[in-house]
Amino acid sequence: MESFLEILTQPWAIRAITASVLVGLTCGVLGVFIVLRNMSLLGDALSHSVLPGIVISFMFFGYNPLGFFIGALGAGLLSTSLITWVQQNAKTRNDAAIGIVFTVMFSLGIIGISWLNNTQNVHLDLKDFLFGNVLAVSPSDVNMSIVVCLYSITMIILFYRYLFATTFQPVVAQVMGISVKATHYLLMFLLSFAVVSAMRTVGVILVVAMLITPASTALLYFHNLKKVIILSGILGIVSAIFGFIFAVLLDSNPGPMMVLVAGLLYTVSVFLAPEKGYIWKWWTRKLQNEKVINEDIVKYLHKHDIQHESDYKLMSENLDLKMNIILSRLKSLDRSGMVNMDGGFPHLTVKGVETADEIVRAHRLWETFQVNKMGMNEEQIHQEAERLEHKLTRDIVDEVDEKLGYPSLDPHGSPIPPKKFIPEKSLISLNPKQKGKIAQHQLNHDIEGELWELGLMPETSFSVYSIEKDQVVIEALKKRIIIPAQLARQINVI
């Protein structure tokens, strides 16, 4: 461990880590726009096209990092211009034009380096340019990386509005007077800077991975562009630091190890990222399926009484659910206070009745909407309403009710349960054993008066003891207080 820490404090290691961090930050930030603009292949092409510039710069300046930078930058910009010219003037597909130009430029670079090594008595290690050699980073390389990083971030901050508009709405940006072409070339110019800067750390072949992998990972976590840019830059830095550390520990090449760390972060995020991650999606689907089953059972119990073991079998057949699933869901509903299992058979509590009424209301209102507004007949509407009754929010149901003129009957002649005017968080919405407080403000003075008679003042703490079919029992003021269901659904709690 001491030898490892000693290595990290060596001047060459500090230079290597510094250059890697700067490159990771630069590529991470720029990569967001490359990915969002579907320019990943162009970034790959640009990274491969810089080799001829290195050859030409060596012929004029010798082994000079600044000369390499200027030559590679010129080659990158030339490649961008050639790709654009071929795309606009030759009958060639865009991706094919990119492939043709970058492979030709890449081949010229390899031939040029081989020619210099064979005929000019010099040694240019092709592997250093292809895969990087961060351990040979010089102070001038670090200075160049600092300049490129600061310049790139400054340009993105200054032209953020233009980059944002041309990335998501290029037509609107053009109408606003923003030059889409000029913004594109600005991004290509910055990309060329990043590629040349990364040549020493990860090499021209792997630089595209540092451009697209952190950005793709960040896009799994956020929708806000600024947050994506910040996270992508952080991921680029993390990939660079840990890639270097693992390379030292495993005696491996730092460049590929940095790319590997970035790839591992992306892989983990594919599974764990909120909303977009595989596990998150699986868990969300699982919860939604359980919610649908719970609501189907509640709606069934609202219509049918379960008084014998044979009634369970009938429920299983009607709901097309296995018995073990029904029993498992009934236990869950019992814990949430929607069902009371006293006596061994399920009965809806007042909370369960409220939920059933909401489901039935959504179902029948949507059936009415399909007939009155969509022109469907009565035979076509039931299945669609069965599916959507679990997805319609209260606000949507209220809006449908308003558009229909507050009907009292559905197309089949069944009554539509009226809207319950209850607080956003009422006493009846709590679960058994859940704690809360009486809110300062209630729906009206009558409710405040009834609470006062029960001894329940604002800010009085309580815990829900049980939820029955027609009452809610709470523990407050060192005693149990029985509250009628009609009152419980109107009491505002926090």
Question: Which ranges in the chain are annotated with CATH 1.10.60.10?
Answer: 351-403
pLDDT for residue 341: 83
List, in sequence order, the alpha helices (H) in 338-460: 350-374, 382-388, 394-403, 445-453
| Tokens read off for 116 | 């210099």
d(CA 416, CA 397): 12
Average pLDDT on 421-439 reads 84
Average pLDDT on 101-106 reads 86
CATH of 279-348, picked from 3.30.70, 1.20.120, 1.10.10, 3.40.50, is 1.10.10
pLDDT for residue 50: 81
d(CA 83, CA 45): 9
Average pLDDT, the chain: 86
List, in sequence order, the alpha helices (H) in 159-224: 160-168, 170-175, 180-198, 203-219
426 DSSP 8-state letter: B
- Residue 437: closest CA among 415, 406, 459, 463: 459
pLDDT band at 1 (very low <50, low <70, confident <90, very high): low
489 DSSP 8-state letter: T
pLDDT for residue 464: 92
d(CA 36, CA 229): 11
Q: The domain at 2-257 falls in which architecture?
A: Orthogonal Bundle (1.10)
pLDDT band at 195 (very low <50, low <70, confident <90, very high): confident
Q: What percent of the chain clears pLDDT 90, i.e. is strictly above it?
A: 26
* 313 pLDDT more than 90: no
Dihedral pair phi/psi, residue 477, rounded to 5°: 55, 35
CATH of 427-488, picked from 3.30.2270.10, 3.40.50.10380, 1.20.1440.120, 2.30.30.90, is 2.30.30.90
CATH T-level assignment (fold) for domain 351-403: Diphtheria Toxin Repressor; domain 2 (1.10.60)
More confident call, 120 vs 223: 223
Question: Which ranges in the chain are annotated with CATH 1.10.3470.10?
Answer: 2-257
For the purposes of burial, counting CB atoms within 10 Å of the CB of 166, is it exposed (0-12), middle (13-18) or buried (19 or more)? Answer: buried
pLDDT for residue 393: 86
Question: Which ranges in the chain are annotated with CATH 1.10.10?
Answer: 279-348
pLDDT tens sequence across 117-149: 777 666 666 677 777 777 777 888 888 889 989
pLDDT for residue 152: 93
| Tokens read off for 81 | 């211009």
d(CA 451, CA 419): 24
pLDDT for residue 421: 66
DSSP strand pairing (435-437 vs 461-467): antiparallel
